[in-house]
Structure 1
């Protein structure tokens, strides 16, 4: 299992807000049965690498098919084979190291 951070920014739309875009992306993630966590600037998704890439593509294409004239999608992948990663586990490790 891997973690993928995705941030999608639609450019050239009629509004400065994109909360409805985020809600639609979350719906796509949920339809694919993936765990996720929303952060202030991105969404972290846990899943099989192939499934993560498929979901990222669907989210990006969905934005292109809407009213955006341009879409900037940033993806960061953390893929480990030596141990299981979870969203809560990663967050807990970071919290411990900050103390």
Structure 2
């Protein structure tokens, strides 16, 4: 793709009752934390930011981790913002609202 910074929102929705859904979500967040990529955990999704390839690797790593742990089914909602010729950061989008 390209080498600019992108950002993405990742939401995991487990469709299983073998464990509390938050346990599966916590597993996904742990993978994001271990990746070294910038992230911010929110009440509905986690926002990650980095080079395109790094962001996509984290998304894949979360899915692989849940699969390896035996999560039977989940929905992963992803929003990904990309600019073709420059970085796009979360701070750029929210800075005017911060005090």
Same structural fold, with TM-score higher than 0.5 when normalized by the shorter chain:
yes
Distance across 2 between alignment mates of 1:81 and 1:67? 37
Shift of 1:90: 1.9
> Which of residues 5, 8, 15 is equivalent to 1:11?
15
Distance across 1 between alignment mates of 2:24 and 2:72? 14
The answer for unaligned runs of 5 or more in structure 2 is none
Say if 2:27 and 2:66, in contact at 8 Å, map to a contact too.
no
Deviates more, 1:78-87 or 1:28-37: 78-87
1:34 aligns with 2:37: yes
The answer for unaligned runs of 5 or more in structure 1 is none
Give the equivalent residue in structure 2 for 1:53: 56
Normalised by the length of structure 1, the TM-score is 0.76
Normalised by the length of structure 2, the TM-score is 0.76
Say if 2:10 and 2:46, in contact at 8 Å, map to a contact too.
yes
The 5 A counterparts of 1:71-90 are 71-90=74-93
> Which of residues 43, 62, 67 is equivalent to 2:46?
43
Distance across 2 between alignment mates of 1:71 and 1:17? 10
Distance across 1 between alignment mates of 2:83 and 2:25? 27
Write out per-residue CA displacement over residues 32-82 of structure 1, whole angstroms, 9 at most, x where no aligned residue. Answer: 221111111111100111111111011012112223211211111111245
